[in-house]
């Protein structure tokens, strides 16, 4: 079942169609990547999901129900542009935001205390927001996003301003929340983070979704049957033809083959000729490569149509 179902959503701003019949489902309990270049329509879509904006056409369903104004209280949204009140103290600010999400003062204090303990910031309660670094403010914003235990959290560039140690800490907490059943929408320009975190993605460009599905299946669909062999010494002559060699350097060769069966045949011949093979892998395209290819192809097609 989908925690969120977007169906034929369209949004127009004067002469700009920000979203054009966008449709996709976010599986319940998944970490889902919402991707696209700048200006693709991601922020507009997030604002519709969180009821900040209304769609001109189409429908959004949240946990099987048509989206209404009560549903955002079951979501947590960390926007790319941070929205903390800089003159407030950390503790009172988090209490205020938690109570906006429906928590009682007592429950809010307990939950905030637990999260501050997790992040080793128990002594920040009386600090003013503007005394904190960008990375420290990001921790506070993350706590505000998840403190009410939402069913769905939407994270827009969640690691912005964080050093590697705190990035790792936030990633661990995202995974822990997800393992406990929280669904996660993850929007970022950093494809390596998407590849690391997300099981499903949708790619939006120029207001339309142009690619969606399970990450492993998408990478499999775009593979080019490139295989890397690592070895000691030299490859015996006669095993490889020049036309299948994509790249070759000392102790490593990348081949363009028809399929995995042909790769296994070459492996067998190498071993029969006493070659010491130290590694073998199929090279799958990165999400970054797929992202660039899809967006470039779409732009070229759009230009051709004009």
pTM of this structure: 0.85
Contact 23, 61 (CB under 8 A): no
User: Alpha-carbon dihedral of residues 168, 173, 176, 177, nearest 10 degrees?
Assistant: -140
Contact 162, 194 (CB under 8 A): no
Indicate the helix (H) or strand (E) that contains 288: helix 287-305
Contact 223, 281 (CB under 8 A): no
The closest of 118, 119, 75, 111 to 95, measured between CA atoms, is 111
Rounded to whole angstroms, how far apart are CA atoms 193 and 254?
26
Structure confidence by residue, pLDDT tens digits, 253-281: 999 998 888 999 988 888 888 888 899 99
The residues with which 203 forms a beta bridge, in sequence order, are 35, 211
Residue 58, CB-side half-sphere exposure with 13 Å CA sphere: 23
Structure confidence by residue, pLDDT tens digits, 204-253: 988 999 899 999 999 999 999 999 999 888 887 777 877 688 888 888 89
Reported confidence tier of residue 96, pLDDT bands at 50, 70, 90: very high
- Between residues 169 and 306, which one has the greater pLDDT? 169
């Amino acid at each position: 079942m989908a925690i969120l179902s977007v169906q034929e959503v369209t949004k127009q701003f004067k002469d700009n169609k920000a979203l054009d019949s966008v449709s996709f489902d976010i599986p319940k309990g998944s970490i889902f990547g919402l991707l696209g270049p700048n200006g693709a329509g991601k922020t507009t879509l997030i604002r519709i999901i969180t009821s900040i904006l209304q769609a001109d056409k189409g429908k959004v369903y949240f946990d099987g129900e048509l989206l209404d104004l009560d549903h955002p209280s079951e979501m947590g949204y960390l926007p790319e542009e941070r929205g903390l009140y800089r003159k407030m103290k950390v503790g009172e600010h988090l209490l205020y935001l938690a109570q906006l999400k429906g928590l009682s003062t007592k429950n809010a204090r307990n939950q905030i205390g637990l999260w501050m303990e997790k992040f080793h910031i128990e002594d920040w309660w009386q600090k003013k927001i503007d005394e904190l670094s960008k990375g420290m403010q990001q921790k506070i914003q993350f706590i505000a996003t998840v403190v009410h235990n939402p069913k769905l959290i939407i994270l827009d560039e969640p690691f912005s301003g964080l050093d590697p140690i705190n990035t790792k800490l936030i990633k661990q907490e995202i995974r822990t929340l997800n393992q406990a059943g929280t669904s996660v929408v993850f929007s970022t320009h950093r494809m390596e983070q998407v590849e690391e975190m997300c099981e499903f993605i949708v790619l939006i460009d120029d207001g339309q979704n142009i690619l969606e599905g399970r990450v492993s299946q998408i990478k499999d669909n775009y593979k080019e049957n490139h295989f890397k062999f690592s070895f000691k010494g030299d490859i015996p002559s006669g095993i490889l033809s020049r036309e299948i060699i994509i790249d070759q350097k000392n102790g490593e060769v990348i081949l363009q083959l028809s399929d995995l069966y042909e790769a296994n045949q070459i492996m067998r011949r190498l071993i029969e000729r006493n070659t010491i093979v130290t590694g073998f892998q199929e090279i799958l395209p990165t999400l970054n490569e797929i992202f660039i290819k899809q967006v470039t192809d779409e732009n070229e097609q759009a230009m051709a149509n004009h």
